[in-house]
Amino acid sequence: MRLISRAVCAVVPFVAFLWLGALASAQQHSHAVPVASPPAAGQRTPAPQDAYVYIGWPNEGQTLSAGRIKIWFGARNIGVAPAGVTFANTGHHHLLINVPIPPLDEPIPNTKNHLHFGAGQTEAFIDLTPGTYTLQLLMGDAEHVPHDPPILSKKITIHVR
């Protein structure tokens, strides 16, 4: 009897573990974010209420050494999804370097001053030479068009020596 008790004690937690895993998986799939339809031509993707983005590193006014600078982005109340993937309440980051906000009704340009993070990145290394730079994030939808209203970070200034 003692042998059976040990076997049962070993098997029951394992079965419970499998059952809880299956239950969690079913719950994840039943609450999945629905795929959104792309906006009609000439219309921008609605921004989720209270969504915002921010630059977590570097900090405002920081002085860094020239070369590869690590930068990381944060987002609240909006998900991050790769370009071309249309899910409700998602977008991807674009880093504006020393440029004003681009036109909001067309795709964000892809230049050395408008960096696209279309794979859904939330951090990257960028190469900066000595100088002063303004950095600002602008969230874009699956087609790189800013949301309506636009989701912009605060503009920060950094110094590179």
DSSP element (H, E) containing 92: strand 90-97
> What is the per-residue pLDDT for 24?
39
Here the CATH number for the domain that contains residue 57 is 2.60.40.10
Question: What three-state secondary structure class fits 5?
Answer: helix
Terminus-to-terminus CA distance in the chain, angstroms?
75
> What is the per-residue pLDDT for 39?
66
Q: Torsion angle of alpha carbons 97, 102, 106, 107, nearest 10°? A: 0
Give the C-alpha distances (Å, rounded to integers) separating 72 from 57, 85, 89: 5, 22, 21
Same domain, 124 and 62: yes
> What is the per-residue pLDDT for 38?
65
pTM here is 0.76
pLDDT surpassing 70 at residue 108:
yes
Same domain, 21 and 56: no
The tens digit of pLDDT for each residue in 39-85 reads 666 689 999 999 999 999 999 999 999 999 999 999 999 999 999 99
Same domain, 69 and 12: no
Q: What integer is the mean pLDDT of 91-98? A: 98
User: Domain range spanning residue 139?
Assistant: 52-160
Same domain, 155 and 112: yes
At 36, is the pLDDT very low, low, confident or very high (cuts 50, 70, 90)? Answer: low
Q: How many distinct structural domains can be found in the chain?
A: 2
Same domain, 139 and 78: yes
Name the least confident of 25-29, 105-109, 129-133.
Answer: 25-29
Same domain, 56 and 15: no
Token output for 114 = 């408008």
